[in-house]
Structure 1
């Protein structure tokens, strides 16, 4: 393999024109394919379509349409002006194409007047009993011959206990919270909820519908509602657009900054602008080829793969630093350009290919995940690692050949790096450094049990975006979540049975229930109304006989409400306000089969979402038949369950795959274990550092662990393969290879460090964790591991001397480090 790489590199060095033409054609083709790549940040599309939550959600969208809203918020006026704004804008919004209806008022009056029908017949009789008791007491008090010897308290007309008992009903929850409008007089805000026809997952449609709403708002004369009156848009559709725009901006800014930092470092590392071009040109070609393949395979990038350009760029430059650094060193020793190219790609190129294959294999293990964000990241990164090595083999020798023909000669300072002072310190203080590092690592290992997983789903979205902040205010004004979970049934009978089953489950779980309330058309029409009507007629007669002059103003107001409610007539679904019925209508106008479950837990709490999904999926119809349960909460729960289940499997699979690949490519298990040791130790040290640094795993940054396994192992491969060469000197090898290892890890860190600049919290945490991992690996790779190799070398040498003395054989004296560490150890 090494000889083949060297021969191919030498051939491309001799015939650079053909190699560069081939690379250019492939790059142009890749660029043409990649120009149509789009970004898809929709979480639902990160789960396989075979998942229950995804299937149910698509079923819901086909029957019911969009779950979310376009929320228009007017603010900065008095209550009367806000109501006038809502009344005038509602018909204009409803006239927009693509808007099914607009909800601007609560059905408060309707349900308030019919509140008694939602009580059970027994509780209505209790109301009747309390009224009778109060009237009897009042009559006794009015009797001049009555003497109250015991100071009897008047029976209370307080029905707050019954109000509390039924306060959680769908009618009460949908109509409560004071004003008939979605209005907050203190914050001077009013909310209108426009229901689009299509799901927010269609980003093009989302942009169009939000654009039409914004255009309508821009055409309004807002000054008539008061000075300083303004409007804004939030809701599911606006949040999707803002999140998409933020991620696209993060990709552009982070990638540009990463490229700039890499350029600066390469200039510092090589002190030559030409050397920088020699390293970056193959990387550019490799990335063009890779993204051309991505366009053919997927046609789009997701939340994670959008940043792979910066990440793969950093990892690819690492190969260039090793290869060009070795070439410059050999030229400094007097080798010809072709021979230096052949030698560089024979040994250093072989190590680069091994490390790239190992990294690719690790990424491919990540590509076995059912979570599409991880799967696509793994596949693209794995292919990209191999493609980048191929680009270096094709492009770099050809560029070196052209540069040599044009008379380029590396400067001596760039070709022959000075002997490392650290290398000499390692030789002299190997025992002390090994002991110090051993104590530090043991201390870090003790911190691993403190490591925690962050179950907050806000790591998947930037909650600081203006539309997200305003959306939370809208939820507060409405009084319940805008994103309920929907249970789909086929008939009105099934709908009623499901409502009863959900309410029974809510009562069974008690305070632990994750259900706030359940709403459906059948739940909004109470049963047994005719029987209740007879009791209400008796109550209506009683309330007329209550002497109001003896009541407090508060009691008189309560009595007036009771009198009005007692006069209400029975009602059916057709009598419900249209604003209520339209919320339960399908896209075809069907008004049955939709049971809305409003969660009592935050959708950002991962553990609570899992409990909600478990509670809802455990509810079945009496027949045992399963009803589809759809909603964003169910998708989030499946993402969490999948990540936590697959995480240990992927980690174990990646470690095993790396070990087997290195065993096969390096020719021995002992060498493979030695190369893998600094990676494993640095990962455990990273796990110990995370609690001390206040870092936690989340749904996105957990992929850093298998990535670090694949991307840090090459440092050990480069160091040990060079030390294994005949007549190698430790200090000389450490000086050259350590410098390249440092540069390679730094450029890899820059690639991931670009995510530091992302406003998205999940991507930001990936950058923080990856860079802490690279820093830990760099220290272990440059200090702890070489010191350990020297200690093992010295120990092996002593044993060899002891055996030689026992056999009376001559021994070869020499300081540790003057012999190759792997042979000695």
Structure 2
């Protein structure tokens, strides 16, 4: 802006007074484009609040994206305006010429970008749909701010002399035909084609990063302490479980049986590590209680072996005490540390089944495989149950993205091509505009 303002007033000559004057006006130049941009951002997030109420993981960073996209409109408009002022045009005439020339090009580009983003609204994945709506709306509001608010600011600032782009030399006039020639056009095209060929060669090496753990920041101090702790306490192999909520604790045995049958049958790509329910530790039905007591009785008989009785081992002593149970215990007698794992927030006990994965769910592919194994469980009597966890939600998001991303890309490209044809009114000119994009 400083350079454009100086060229508009002094042309190609050096003028120390104008140079210092433009340096002093630099904050004003930043305000000319910064204020409309901030207005458009505030309008955009106001619309986002009215439409959705809150931002999600993908839309929370849209402020930076729209800042970069929106400021381009202002830069192009201001640059062309200063050129027209350098040619000797007045404020109104320069703004009108800029609006009808560069303004049209800016509008065509903004509409194309916005319509391409609005295609994402059709996606079922909210990360895509909300991103498309907010980003598309932000582009249009940035266009309005830069083509309506910014020219008004420029006119006001020039009127009160906060901004002075009036040339002090003769108008530069339009550039000559020699200045309009593009040097090295053939070399640029050939170099671009070579870059495309190189990109196609390396394209198969580009893949999607499924391992979410690699996307996390590196915490050096935490990792050092974790390594020390793991020398003494080994981490549990069973983490990130999925939960199947039941209407009644009586349904748990059938669900557990179905999952364990799945574990037996799935030998090629097993993802279920362990299945737990309160009924495994504390049977609720009289039949199950008697079966558990019979198992305890067998253990008690084994402990009567003279060799084991001669052993003075604390673990054996604890097992002997536990094996003295000869009658069913009540739920109140179950230790709290055991009941807590199977208690809901509302105080219900035993109304869900815990399914632990045997694979690391930081890898999205493992999450998808685990979701396919436990997401829907059908018991022997035909009842259907559904599991839930953050890892299963992540798996559903990945599946949606995989299914919708190619469609969204193709639809966006089709919209861009269509708008280019409508804008230029010619297939050849539209192709010329789309080729660099491809």
Question: TM-score, normalising length from structure 1?
Answer: 0.45
Q: What does residue 359 of structure 1 align with?
A: 113
Q: CA deviation at 1:358?
A: 0.5
Is the Cα contact below 8 Å between 1:303 and 1:373 reproduced in 2?
A: yes
- Please list the CA deviations of residues 409-434 of structure 1 after superposition, one character each: whole Å capped at 9, or x if unmatched: 34579x969989x988953x433443
Q: CA deviation at 1:299?
A: 2.5
Mapping for residues 689-728 of structure 1, pairs under 5 Å: none
- Please list the CA deviations of residues 287-334 of structure 1 after superposition, one character each: whole Å capped at 9, or x if unmatched: 222222222222322333232222212212211111111111122222
Mapping for residues 605-624 of structure 1, pairs under 5 Å: 605-624=363-382
Where 1:522 maps in the other structure, the secondary structure is helix
Whole-angstrom CA distance in 2 between matches of 1:443 and 1:559:
67
Q: CA deviation at 1:597?
A: 1.0
Where 2:107 maps in the other structure, the secondary structure is helix
Where 2:252 maps in the other structure, the secondary structure is helix
Q: What does residue 165 of structure 2 align with?
A: 409
- Please list the CA deviations of residues 240-264 of structure 1 after superposition, one character each: whole Å capped at 9, or x if unmatched: xxxxxxxxxxxxxxxxxxxxxxxxx
Mapping for residues 469-480 of structure 1, pairs under 5 Å: 479-480=236-237
Q: What does residue 751 of structure 1 align with?
A: none
Whole-angstrom CA distance in 2 between matches of 1:463 and 1:652:
36
Whole-angstrom CA distance in 2 between matches of 1:547 and 1:395:
92
Is the Cα contact below 8 Å between 2:374 and 2:386 reproduced in 1?
A: no
Whole-angstrom CA distance in 1 between matches of 2:408 and 2:301:
70
Indicate whether 1:592 and 2:350 are aligned.
Answer: yes
> Alignment partner for residue 529 of structure 1, among 279, 292, 300?
292
Indicate whether 1:602 and 2:365 are aligned.
Answer: no
Whole-angstrom CA distance in 2 between matches of 1:417 and 1:605:
62
Indicate whether 1:321 and 2:75 are aligned.
Answer: yes
Mapping for residues 611-690 of structure 1, pairs under 5 Å: 611-680=369-438
Mapping for residues 225-374 of structure 1, pairs under 5 Å: 266-267=1-2, 272=22, 273=26, 274-374=28-128
Indicate whether 1:569 and 2:325 are aligned.
Answer: yes
CA distance 1:628–1:463, shift in 2 (3 Å): farther
| Structure 2 gap ranges (5+) | 7-21
Is the Cα contact below 8 Å between 2:86 and 2:165 reproduced in 1?
A: no
Indicate whether 1:489 and 2:252 are aligned.
Answer: no
Q: CA deviation at 1:585?
A: 1.9
CA distance 1:327–1:544, shift in 2 (3 Å): same
Q: What does residue 302 of structure 2 align with?
A: 539
Is the Cα contact below 8 Å between 1:537 and 1:566 reproduced in 2?
A: no
Is the Cα contact below 8 Å between 1:521 and 1:573 reproduced in 2?
A: no
Indicate whether 1:464 and 2:219 are aligned.
Answer: yes
Whole-angstrom CA distance in 2 between matches of 1:478 and 1:643:
32
- Please list the CA deviations of residues 532-553 of structure 1 after superposition, one character each: whole Å capped at 9, or x if unmatched: 3554454243x126795xxxxx
RMSD value, Cα: 3.5
CA distance 1:613–1:471, shift in 2 (3 Å): farther
Whole-angstrom CA distance in 1 between matches of 2:274 and 2:344:
21
Indicate whether 1:383 and 2:137 are aligned.
Answer: yes
CA distance 1:648–1:628, shift in 2 (3 Å): same
Where 2:430 maps in the other structure, the secondary structure is helix
CA distance 1:325–1:486, shift in 2 (3 Å): same
Is the Cα contact below 8 Å between 1:330 and 1:340 reproduced in 2?
A: yes
Q: What does residue 9 of structure 2 align with?
A: none
CA distance 1:439–1:372, shift in 2 (3 Å): same
Whole-angstrom CA distance in 2 between matches of 1:447 and 1:292:
42
Is the Cα contact below 8 Å between 2:375 and 2:388 reproduced in 1?
A: no
Is the Cα contact below 8 Å between 1:480 and 1:598 reproduced in 2?
A: no
Q: CA deviation at 1:394?
A: 1.9
Is the Cα contact below 8 Å between 2:4 and 2:79 reproduced in 1?
A: no
Is the Cα contact below 8 Å between 2:376 and 2:384 reproduced in 1?
A: no
CA distance 1:559–1:461, shift in 2 (3 Å): closer
Q: CA deviation at 1:516?
A: 1.9
Whole-angstrom CA distance in 1 between matches of 2:125 and 2:309:
69
- When the two structures are aligned, how many residues end up with a matched partner? 405
| Structure 1 gap ranges (5+) | 1-265, 549-554, 681-825
CA distance 1:599–1:416, shift in 2 (3 Å): farther
Whole-angstrom CA distance in 2 between matches of 1:469 and 1:508:
41
CA distance 1:546–1:482, shift in 2 (3 Å): closer
Indicate whether 1:453 and 2:215 are aligned.
Answer: no
- Please list the CA deviations of residues 125-152 of structure 1 after superposition, one character each: whole Å capped at 9, or x if unmatched: xxxxxxxxxxxxxxxxxxxxxxxxxxxx
Question: TM-score, normalising length from structure 2?
Answer: 0.81
Q: What does residue 515 of structure 1 align with?
A: 272
Q: What does residue 84 of structure 1 align with?
A: none
